[in-house]
A and B are shown apart, each in its own frame.
Chain A
Amino acid sequence: MSRKLILSKEELIEKYNLNEEEQVYLLPILMDIEDAVRRHITSPV
């Protein structure tokens, strides 16, 4: 199984099947994690 490197907001909602309530606070945390992964992968040092 392979995963797209960084998921967008819409892709996270779909992948984790987030309901409307979960999109308020959980979704931003999942987006922060994706951002942290991106920062790590793109870091040149």
Chain B
Amino acid sequence: MSNLQAERNQLYADIWAGKRPKRVPVTAMISLEYAIQHQGYSLFREYYSPKHCFEAAEEMAKLINSDNLPTNPENMAAAYRYSMSKFMVQGRDGFYQHPNYSPMKFEEYPELIKDPFAYWANVVRPRIFGILEEDERYGELRLNLARSVVASKYFGMGTPQLVEKYERANIEHMAMMNTAPLDYVADFLRNFSDICIDMRRAPQWVADAAEAALQFICDSLDRVKKVPGKINMVVLPLHMAPYLNPKNFEKFYFPTFKKLIEAIQERGLHASIYCEHNWDPHLEALNDLPGRVQIGFEMADPKLVVEKLDKRHIISTFFHTHLLRTATPEQVSDAVKRLLDIVAVNGNYVFAMNKPVLNPGDASIENIQAMVDTAVEYGVY
């Protein structure tokens, strides 16, 4: 490991240990789709070529001096396409997105609640992957082989190679990505529209479904293989809470979410959550989460977060990506300094944008560089 990589790792190690690091760790989130298009490539063509994806991600690493690798070259789009996934569907612009799709029928709540694993495996999966419905005998084999064939294409030209070559931090390891239990029901089984109706029509079913989802996720946590020497993180993007009133947040969302955070920590893992939309009404609740949780915010007021949130937690994001679209590099630099003056006061802040850059129109490279370089220089404690 190089000295620079060790220094970068130390920043994250300190902050997770509750110590003030030498400077604010700087994380950049540049999507592969941005990188591909920045190279002048197509999301319908080179996006499926591991060689071109690697080249595009490497270019981002050359240009952007963040502590993490700004762009990961891997994508599983060919596997989504082969398996005819209804969860990841390509849009007309070439992006793969999770649509507002509901594979679970309302009357199936009792089946989910009774045995979430069996329900997921026997009922939901065949509805998600068209290949399972189309080929009952070999569908699972096809799905498995599609994933392994695509993953094998990145052998020797993936994230690990770029991390080493460009001396980026690698102490954080994403052991699992999952969701809060109610989000699991809303995102993967029902959908945003349906679950809002379900909460009124069958509130107990929804509450019981969240408990069932909690058990299902905890069973998966039990099977996580921790990487020794790493900060093994469970990453949870949070969706439904900002759309719930305080009563429904307390009733349907927070109890199982808190239990999940406890379960993560009991297993020696670290929770990294991302609060989508505006969590200002729920900031107090985040103080009820045990231990140290890394909390990213999409739209929360940074002053309010610093004032209200317990300092044992790690706070992250806040820098508004939209500034990268319209501002000059000088204006970006000034905005970074203003933000750091607010949030980098307790030694518990990881700099990052509030959402990833997706398209070349979202940000110029010059603005991304101004953002990262300023955060690195001005973020020294």
Residues of chain A touching chain B, judged by Cβ–Cβ distance below 8 Å, are 1-3, 5, 16, 19, 21-22, 24-26, 29-30, 32-33, 36-37, 40-41
Q: A6–B141 Cα gap in the complex (Å)?
A: 13
How far is the CB of B37 from the nearest CB of chain A, in Å? 14
Interface string of B134-154 (1 = CB under 8 A from A): 110010011001101110010
A-side contacts of B46, CB under 8 Å: 25
A-side contacts of B149, CB under 8 Å: 29, 32-33, 36
Q: A40–B141 Cα gap in the complex (Å)?
A: 9
How far is the CB of B131 from the nearest CB of chain A, in Å? 8
B-side contacts of A24, CB under 8 Å: 45, 48-49
Closest A residue to B77 by CB, please name it: A26
Closest A residue to B150 by CB, please name it: A29
Given A37-B141, A40-B145: A25 and B134 interface contact (C-beta under 8 Å): no
Number of interchain pairs (Cβ within 8 Å): 58
Given A26-B78, A29-B150: A36 and B48 interface contact (C-beta under 8 Å): no
Q: Are A37 and B138 in contact (CB under 8 A)?
A: yes
A-side contacts of B131, CB under 8 Å: 3
B-side interface residues, number (CB < 8 Å): 24
Q: A2–B136 Cα gap in the complex (Å)?
A: 8
Closest A residue to B94 by CB, please name it: A21
- Among B47, B138, B153, contact of A41 (Cβ-Cβ < 8 Å): B138
Q: A33–B48 Cα gap in the complex (Å)?
A: 14
Q: A32–B152 Cα gap in the complex (Å)?
A: 11
| Interface of chain A, main secondary structure | helix
Considering only residues 102-144 of chain B, those with a C-beta below 8 Å from chain A are 131, 133-135, 138, 141-142
- Among B133, B138, B141, B153, contact of A29 (Cβ-Cβ < 8 Å): B153
Pairs of residues from A and B, 8 with the lowest C-beta to C-beta distance, nearest first: A25-B48, A21-B44, A25-B49, A21-B45, A26-B48, A3-B135, A29-B78, A36-B145
Q: Are A37 and B142 in contact (CB under 8 A)?
A: yes
How far is the CB of A20 from the nearest CB of chain B, in Å? 9
- Among B49, B52, B81, B148, contact of A30 (Cβ-Cβ < 8 Å): B81
A-side contacts of B82, CB under 8 Å: 16, 29-30, 33
How far is the CB of B128 from the nearest CB of chain A, in Å? 15
- Among A3, A22, A32, contact of B45 (Cβ-Cβ < 8 Å): A22
A-side contacts of B148, CB under 8 Å: 36
Interface status of B42 (Cβ within 8 A of chain A): yes
Closest A residue to B51 by CB, please name it: A25
| 24 cross-chain CB contacts under 8 A | A1-B133, A1-B134, A3-B131, A5-B138, A16-B81, A21-B42, A21-B44, A21-B45, A22-B45, A22-B48, A25-B47, A25-B48, A25-B49, A26-B48, A26-B81, A30-B78, A33-B78, A33-B145, A33-B150, A36-B145, A36-B149, A37-B138, A37-B145, A40-B141
Q: A25–B42 Cα gap in the complex (Å)?
A: 11
Query: Other CB < 8 Å A-B pairs besides A29-B78, A30-B81, A37-B142, 13 of them?
Result: A3-B131, A3-B134, A5-B138, A19-B44, A24-B48, A25-B47, A25-B52, A26-B81, A29-B48, A30-B78, A33-B145, A37-B138, A37-B145
Given A1-B133, A3-B135, A26-B78: A33 and B45 interface contact (C-beta under 8 Å): no
